[in-house]
Amino acid sequence: MADVSHKESPSSEKASFTQQQTSDAPAAPRLDLSKENSEGLLVNALSGISQDQLFRDVDQFLQEKQIQEDPALFHRAALAAQEPARFESIDGLQEDERSALQKELTSRWAAPWTLYLTILACSIGAATQGWDQTGSNGANLSFPAEFGIDGTDRGEWIVGVVNSAPYLASAALGCWLSDPLNNMFGRRGTIFITALILIATPIASGFTHSWQTLFVVRLILGIGMGAKGSTVPIFAAENSPNAIRGALTMSWQLWTAFGIFAGFVANLVVADTGRIAWRLQLGSAFIPAVPLAFLIWLCPESPRWLMKKGRYTAAYQALQRLRFTKLQAARDLYYIHVQLEEEKRVIRGATFVSRFTELFTIPRVRMATIAASTVMLAQQMCGINVMAFYSSTVFKTAGLSDREALKSSVGFGALNFVGAIPAIFVIDKFGRRSLLLTTFPIMAIFLFAAGLMFLAPNTANPDFGIVPDADQFIATKGKLAGIAIFIYLFTLAYSIGEGPVPFAYSAEVFPLAQREQGMGWAVATCLFWASVLSITFPRMLHVFGSLGTFFFYGGLNLIAFVLIFFFVPETKRLSLEELDGVFSVGNSRFASYQLTKTLPYAIKVATLQHPEKPVPLFKKVNVDILEQA
């Protein structure tokens, strides 16, 4: 996108841009995070600064931060950051630097192996999350009988509470511990500590002899899950280039889905081991946490976390490992620094309490909090975790045997993983918001269809009266196939949209000062409602029946669509700091634009009219490289 011309806004309480001007440069807007971004401008923080002033600022930066590097390199880097689409005109640019900058535009997947090692470690961290979820899925078929709590109303509630324990602990404690843990130990140290917890607790759960003990062990498991789930996506987002940040950060969901699939496979493998099957199903979840504990120390620490701690030389060294050239590392270091300085003017977050309260008191942060909460809540509203926690129970309710139900759950897990792969290639092309708004209505349709399949007639069971406890009627093969097909189609739609977006989105929308607290809040929101779902589903299935339950979640999908439409702005291809402009526009203005501009335009397009596109809510100034990348 070409630079956007702009006029000085009239004086008003909502004017959030001040004019920044040097003696030989035109006036340029500057974002004021204490006010609403009434003009919807997304501004390069270096726009409008003369070359002489820019070089003086860079020299002062190098001196203050005690960075021992050639100033000429940082001068070229600052010019590349100031006008990213015009790097060809920079004097003195070396050939390898020019080639690397060009490669950012033409080969966006090209990156040093260290970056991909970091994403691999984050992916394994996500796989532990998924495997921990599905161990209980298979164990649900046998551990209630082991503890004498099956077949009763009280037992249904106990099973729900035991399954929900990790999510209750995550929401209540684990997610919030990520802030002090990150503050003390960094991103890598926090991930290592949680990996140790996720090694010990699954093994311990396999040795429990009462549901009460199992409940306590799973509470401790949840502490590790919450802190890890709040840290790993941030670690991925902070280390990733803007052009592919969504794709790399969504590795969380892709490999969570792989962990779910691997957990289902493990459940099936040990299903015939007798009374210890459920112990092995729960205990096997420690496996992916082992390589995570080792690999994380081969990755560079987050440069933004190091800058937050004032360790700029270490941050520069980390960026050199994550980028091809020193010029790219210097460019990113200086540009991030300038934007962080702007954030510090308003967003301070000096203490744990102040960082939490600023989630709701600073308009820029409050809008991010609402958006992240919406996508996380929507993940539970869509009903996917009904399948992750209870797919074996759902398939058994449809008429399958225990082993057949486990096999069907493996199919669900495989599709959840495979379906997430296309999202890698579209999340940065079409955007987070577009994927959500496209897939939620589709998911609702498939849930309604799956629910209706339960109305299909059953057939007489030839084993009735011959095999003990055999039912008089069983589902036909067509009925079972229809239920499975629509559940699988729902899973595919989820895996492309609501699956990859929430954790990637929440990890990128908060300013650095609130990033741990904001991500903690978002993950706590997600896992709290996951625990509610886990507790209520067994009883809901008993009271509502399969038809009512599927229709209930189908309706929630439509409600989630409306919430996303009004409260979730797009974030694709903007730097983490440039998102300050997006989330300073204000919820009321954003929602009003969707209602008065976007919705009428969409209706006219749907009715085959040819309307003019509405004037964009956001206008970019000197961030056009992001459109080309």
- As a whole number, mean pLDDT of residues 96-100 equals 87
Is the pLDDT confidence value at 601 over 60? yes
- Can you name the residues that pair with 459 across neighbouring β-strands? 474
Residue-range domain boundaries for the chain:
113-567
Looking at per-residue confidence, does 564 or 458 come out higher? 564
Q: Whole-angstrom distance between the N-terminal and C-terminal Cα of the chain?
A: 11
CA gap 340, 303 in Å, rounded = 12
One-letter amino acid of 110: A
Is the pLDDT confidence value at 471 over 90? no
Predicted pLDDT at 105: 79
One-letter amino acid of 279: R
Closest CA to 456 of 400, 404, 398: 398
Predicted pLDDT at 31: 59
Predicted pLDDT at 142: 78
pLDDT of 276-303, one tens digit each?
888 888 888 898 899 999 999 999 999 9
pTM, two decimal places: 0.74
pLDDT of 361-382, one tens digit each?
888 899 999 999 999 999 999 9
Residue 213 near residue 158, CB atoms below 8 Å: no
**What three-state secondary structure class fits 460?**
strand
Is the pLDDT confidence value at 3 over 80? no
User: Considering only 268-272, 339-343, 457-461, 563-567, which range has the smallest mean pLDDT?
Assistant: 457-461
140 vs 131, 144, 408, 553, CA distance in Å? Answer: 15, 7, 15, 22
pLDDT tier for residue 628 given thresholds of 50, 70 and 90: very low
Predicted pLDDT at 596: 93
pLDDT mean across residues, the chain: 82
Question: Other CB atoms closer than 10 Å to residue 377's CB: what's the count?
Answer: 21
Strands 41-43 and 619-621: parallel
pLDDT of 233-261, one tens digit each?
888 888 888 777 777 777 777 888 888 88
Residue 188 near residue 232, CB atoms below 8 Å: no
CA gap 240, 336 in Å, rounded = 13
Is the pLDDT confidence value at 309 over 50? yes
Buried b (16+ CB within 10 A) or exposed e, 517-536: bbbbbbbbbbbbbbbbbbbe
For the chain, the residue count is 629
Predicted pLDDT at 410: 78
Is the pLDDT confidence value at 511 over 60? yes
CA gap 611, 182 in Å, rounded = 50
Looking at per-residue confidence, does 300 or 348 come out higher? 300
Predicted pLDDT at 34: 60
Q: Which fold has domain 113-567?
A: Growth Hormone; Chain: A; (1.20.1250)
Closest CA to 562 of 378, 372, 427, 363: 378
Is the pLDDT confidence value at 220 over 90? yes
Predicted pLDDT at 464: 60
